[in-house]
Amino acid sequence: MNVRTIPYGYRYENGVVTINPNESEIIQRIFSEYLHGQSLLNIAADLNADCIEYRPGVIGWNKSRIMRLIEDERYIGTDTFPALITQETHTHATMLKLQKSTQRETNRKDAIYNLNVPMYCPQCGGIMKRQHNTRGNERWGCRNPECGVSFSLPDTTLLAELTIILNHIIEDPEIIHEIPSEYEPNTELQYLKNEISRTLEGYGFDKAALRQKMLEYTSRRYAEIDPNKYITIKLKADFEKSGPLSEFSTELFQLTVKSIYLETDGNVGITLLNGQRIGKE
């Protein structure tokens, strides 16, 4: 038989569809491996490696073929086809397929994948990592193996709390303030400044040499200027331009937020680009 006329797993006996013992074992193997986390691609690769024939003389398993078998409702039994798997097994496989499809769509579009800022642990200050299981539950756990702090934090809750904070700032941008700079000129820069001062207090100094020292000082001092004041002004302007949010704004978040932090009680806060931390309250 060069072309299959009935689904894989069955055969004709005296004009009646019956179970093909060898092929039915492969069907059960496919469903079992899929439900235990194997990808369609890996299942196909294993079948090809084991030289399992899809039809006599043909070893041609691929991702699409495996998926068509998993989707085929005839395997749970009909008036014509005897059951190869249980209804429960087929339902679980179908739900898993839908869940994987939903996750792929979410990966492309959901705001949770576009935050692009770190979240910091409340215990050790390490980076937190999002964890998503097959039941659709999200947690955030510390990557520091010596810490291991973990919080249950659904994506919807996280995005809702971030939206509350952003709206809080939109309502009153004046709560944004400049973080005092801790800048102190380094020793070499201070020495250069003092040298210029002493030169100016004297007579008959080399104007060209003095000019060179002043340019060097100005250049190095400019390079060390704290940009925090400008960043703070821009932050206020960005929030003033935004109207109240009815849902999370990825654009505003990425424009203004440097990182997310968690409190020990699990509450969420943000750190703005100027270093100011703001929570829900």
Give yes or no for residue 4 having a pLDDT over 70: no
Predicted pLDDT of residue 106: 47
Predicted pLDDT of residue 104: 53
Region 214-220 average pLDDT: 81
Give yes or no for residue 82 having a pLDDT over 90: yes
Paired strand residues for 277: 271
Predicted pLDDT of residue 83: 95
CA distances from residue 249 to 123, 153, 233, 245, 277 in whole angstroms, order as listed: 28, 19, 21, 7, 19
Of 60, 21, 24, 25, residue with least CA distance to 44: 60
Read out DSSP for the chain? --S-SS-TTEEEETTEEEE-HHHHHHHHHHHHHHHTT--HHHHHHHHHHTT--SBTTB----HHHHHHHHH-GGGG--SSS--SS-HHHHHHHHHHHHHHHHHHHHHHH-GGGG--S-EE-TTT--BEEEEE-TTS-EEEEES-TTT--EEE--HHHHHHHHHHHHHHHHH-GGG--PPPP-----HHHHHHHHHHHHHHHSSS--HHHHHHHHHHHHHHHHHT--THHHHHHHHHHHHHHPPPPSS--HHHHHHHEEEEEE-TTS-EEEEETTS-EEE--
Tens of pLDDT along 258-277?
999 988 888 899 999 999 99
Give yes or no for residue 108 having a pLDDT over 60: no
C-alpha span between 118 and 123 (Å, rounded) = 15
Residue type, 260: I
Tens of pLDDT along 148-197?
888 888 888 898 999 999 999 999 999 999 876 655 557 777 888 888 88
| Packed helices 21-35 and 63-71: angle between N→C axes, nearest 10 degrees | 100
Least confident window among 63-77, 201-215, 232-246, 265-279: 201-215
Average pLDDT, the chain: 85
Tens of pLDDT along 18-47?
999 999 999 999 999 999 888 898 999 999
Cα 153 to its chain centre, rounded Å, is 14
